[in-house]
Amino acid sequence: MHGIGPPLVTPCTEQGDVDYAALRELVGWVENRGVDFLLACGSTSEAELLTAAERKRVVETVVEEASVPVLAGTGHPGLRETLDSTAAAVDAGADAALVVTPFYYNHGHDTLVSYYRAVADSAEIPVYLYSVPGYTDVQLTPKTVAELASHPNIAGMKDTNGSLGSFIRTQQRVADGTFDLLIGTANILSQALSAGARGGVLALANLYPRKCVKIHELYESTPKRAQSLNAELVDINTAVTTMYGIPGLKWAMRQRGAPAGYPRSPQQPPDEHAKQHLASLLAEVSKT
């Protein structure tokens, strides 16, 4: 997986049902704006709020509709669930599996290495590690990633630690191989590309796919322009991630004509103050 891929939001009706027709439309909406690959059932997809059957159908729907590679989120707290979900992604036709760190219980280096090796040994598609300690409270350290990168079926990692320093230390340990290190935080996309990232899996690419792709393209020829464009998107990215989360992102996407649907319970729609703030940020971006 190289370039820019959105962790697709999962459109839901206002009653909370997955809207598969809207999901198909969304695949076309982002693909028409130049993204390089798609992630189904990631954190931004509200995957942890979907049933196992819904996750399987979401992956199937995205694969059926997509003309770019599809990465499927298959990680769970337990190994057996992860193996089952990964096998279902294989059956659906996904190109690779994104496996979040096992969470809820605390796990150390040796446990994580054993877990990921078991997943990679079993999987019939390449496995990408996923470190997102803001949600899981589990972080893949550069040492752990370097050890796992030697496995022939572990192809890369989505790093959403939010720390450029940690990203650089990880990159230094895997730079000699073909390991696809992807940044998961749009605020530092241009800096991560400068540090050796192969691309990004970015929630913001649901909202501004063209601009995220443009940053990646500009970096090769005019890195200062890439940095400038990235800086213009920091406020809106912060708003639709850490500030207002997926409900805010879906609301902002609907304002731009994207078939994003509504958040699933227990998440709640943004309040009026949040909507006004988001609207002002969208207006600012539209000026650039």
Active site residues: 130, 158
CA distances from 69 to 85, 114, 244 (A): 18, 28, 29
Contact 288, 232 (CB under 8 A): yes
Report the candidate in 77, 90, 102 with the shortest Cα–Cα distance to residue 127: 90
Cα–Cα dist 83/86, whole Å: 5
Cα–Cα dist 259/27, whole Å: 9
Cα–Cα dist 132/145, whole Å: 13
Q: What is the dihedral of CA 12, 18, 21, 26, to 10 degrees?
A: 50
Judged by DSSP in three states, 37 sits in coil
Q: Kindly state the tokens that stand for 43.
A: 């954190």
